[in-house]
Structure 1
Amino acid sequence: MGTIVVTGGTGTLGRHVTERLREAGREVRVVSRHSAPYAVDLRDGRGLDAALAGAGTVVHCATTPSGGDERAARRLIDAAGRAGVAHLVYISIVGVDRVPFGYYRTKLAVEGLVERSGLGWTILRTTQFHDLVLRVLQGAARLPLLLPVPAGVPDQPVEVREVAAHLAELALGEPAGRVPDMGGPEVRTLEDLAEAYLRASGRRRRVVRVPLVGASYRAFRAGGHLARDRAVGTGTFEDHLRRHFAPGARG
């Protein structure tokens, strides 16, 4: 069966994928910039060949909005080819082909690299994680009195643990190509999600709808990042908030 390598295996998604795969009895090798003994920065690739030696499957969760994902993917694909990896699993985002947002364009470009890699591959697109929505709202709430959100933008956040479970299942199977998208259980406005955050956190702010401009904003307003017909997730944003703000919870 071979070792399964998880890039970004200490991150928001990767650590849950790693946990699921180990629960399934598989040997998992975590690759990230600070994870000994396989501390690898995919942008320069040093140590990558050793990290992939003997691997049968790679789950590519490592990503950074600050840039470098395409270069990292090329290095990973080249090294996977040298190592004889049979299955490359990649996590992407719903709407990367519909929303002209810079990070989304990068994710779409990496999808293309995976598809043309010559390896067996699987790509899963999901909607935004609850964790990301919460971080965005926490950042906006740093302003006094107000919590601004983009006007008229819907969202469909999904529970990261559910995504991890599905991604691990895909990694344990055969290459499946582009699989059906995965979305959270509810499509809601950002204003509604902001109000839920304020109630859970006990913070007092007035939610303000801020109209923006540009093609990306129009695409988000039109719901290009949603998977309305694939609302297969079950955990709600309130479920996530209850765990996050529970007494003794981390963060």
Structure 2
Amino acid sequence: MEQSVLVTGGTGTLGRAVVQRLLDAAPAGARLPDGRPAVRVLSRRSRSAADDRPYDWATGDLRSGEGIDAAVTGADVVIHCATTLGRGDVEATRRLTDAVARQPDGSPHLVHVSIVGIDRIPLGYYRAKLEAERIIESSQVPWTILRATQFHDLMARIASAQRRLPVLAALAGVRFQPVDVTEVAGHLVELADGFPAGRVPDLGGPEARAHTDLTRAWLRATGRRRPPSPVRHTSPVSSTALPRTVVDG
């Protein structure tokens, strides 16, 4: 991959995996022919003094827009992995898309990761994700959007958050189709190396499993003996409302 790639949210779960895939794929020690690092990480935080990996670092804040134009400058591709809750995600995507569109030498290819089924689940978090997609789709920048199912580590975090409670709740009748974060990262890097493709096919894990089964698997893997307690969920994300694309990729 002989192009400059900016990764937003490059220190997060998905962003770190994307950065590593890019470094693995980049020729000549992850540098471009002109000597610039092929990979640039955008983060709100300053770079750690102990971080000596061969990528560039841009400090910027998508919440305020500070530093975003400078971060995007010179990039051939922007992989947007940064995310937040609610309206913040919408505004961050708008600021990034505007910065991409402002580039004087032509807009970089914007590769955006989203969530499977967001157009069918009537919750605020998913509505914000859908609005963020529409901002990109209605822009004048070249874009690709990949929707993926939940990561395995999300399932683990849900269970781990309850580890000190007397009962470990699992959603009865609800299935998930978790996917490995490195699989999503690898697919994003492949998309970044290609032409803008608009909405591409969704990416899901190899099998859909009941949340109770996933919780039991976590209990076995962590050496805990208590059984999960099935809880009937009556919100719009119950099993009766989950679109099949959420669980079947």
SS where residue 58 of structure 2 aligns? coil
Specify the alignment match of 1:122 in structure 2. 144
Does residue 201 in structure 1 map to residue 212 in structure 2? no
Specify the alignment match of 1:94 in structure 2. 116
Question: Whole-Å Cα distance in 2 between the matches of residues 75 and 187 of structure 1?
Answer: 36
> 1:103-182 to 2 correspondence within 5 Å?
103-144=125-166, 146-182=167-203
Counterpart residue identity of residue 63, structure 1:
T
Question: Whole-Å Cα distance in 2 between the matches of residues 182 and 147 of structure 1?
Answer: 29
Deviations 1:35-79 (A, max 9, x none): 434121101011111111111110000001264011101110111
Offset at residue 203 of structure 1 (A): 1.2
The 1:8–1:113 alpha-carbon spacing in structure 2 relative to 1, beyond 3 Å, is same
Flag the structure with higher helix content.
1
Specify the alignment match of 1:23 in structure 2. 24
Question: Whole-Å Cα distance in 2 between the matches of residues 128 and 38 of structure 1?
Answer: 28
**Does the 8 A contact of 1:2 with 1:54 survive in 2?**
no
Offset at residue 138 of structure 1 (A): 0.8
Offset at residue 16 of structure 1 (A): 1.1
SS where residue 161 of structure 2 aligns? helix
The 1:222–1:120 alpha-carbon spacing in structure 2 relative to 1, beyond 3 Å, is closer
Counterpart residue identity of residue 149, structure 1:
A
Offset at residue 2 of structure 1 (A): 4.1
Question: Whole-Å Cα distance in 2 between the matches of residues 66 and 86 of structure 1?
Answer: 26
The 1:86–1:194 alpha-carbon spacing in structure 2 relative to 1, beyond 3 Å, is same
Percent sequence identity over aligned pairs: 53
TM-score by length of 1: 0.85
Which of 64, 80, 98 is the matching residue for 2:100? 80
Question: Whole-Å Cα distance in 2 between the matches of residues 4 and 122 of structure 1?
Answer: 14
Offset at residue 101 of structure 1 (A): 2.1
Aligned residue pairs, count: 227
TM-score by length of 2: 0.86
Deviations 1:93-151 (A, max 9, x none): 1110111122111111111011111111000011100011110111123212x211121
Query: Cα RMSD over matched residues?
Result: 1.6
